[in-house]
């Protein structure tokens, strides 16, 4: 078995954001380019573990690497600023086991 490699900052934790979108899909679509650019910056900065929308278009799941509950990450998200998020539920999360090969990312 291969050893697990952890790339985390001391004092940081995983935070899950279970977000639901506004019932106005045009608002979500209009803000999507800025939101995805923001997600790319978070990924590059090592503050985004994974993210993606629900298949039914009702919202998305985000997993952040943060020193606290990640309210500041959500507050700076164009979806939050522009009103695309109807609700965000933030919760600390601990990964016990993971298989990165089962999490293919798409652009």
Q: What are the C-alpha distances in Å from 83 to residues 1, 9, 24, 68, 94?
A: 46, 31, 10, 23, 29
Per DSSP, what are the bridge partners of residue 65?
14
Burial pattern 44-77, b for ≥16 Cβ within 10 A else e, equals eeebbbebeeeeeeebbebbbbbeeebeebbeeb
**In percent, how much of the chain has pLDDT > 70?**
90
Kindly tell me if the per-residue pLDDT of 106 is higher than 80. no
Q: What is the pLDDT of residues 30-61, one digit of tens each?
A: 999 999 999 999 999 999 999 999 999 999 99
> pTM of the entire structure?
0.86
Per DSSP, what are the bridge partners of residue 89?
18
CB atoms within 10 A of CB 27: 15
């Amino acid at each position: 078995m291969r050893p697990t490699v952890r790339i985390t900052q001391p004092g940081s934790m995983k935070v899950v954001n279970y977000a639901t979108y506004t019932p106005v899909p045009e608002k979500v679509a209009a803000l999507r380019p800025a939101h995805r650019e923001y997600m790319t910056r978070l990924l590059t900065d090592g503050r985004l573990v994974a993210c993606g929308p629900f298949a039914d278009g009702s919202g998305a799941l985000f997993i952040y690497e943060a020193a606290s509950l990640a309210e500041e990450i959500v507050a700076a998200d164009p979806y939050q600023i522009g009103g695309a998020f109807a609700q965000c539920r933030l919760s600390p999360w601990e990964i016990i086991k993971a298989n990165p090969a089962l999490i293919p990312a798409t652009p």
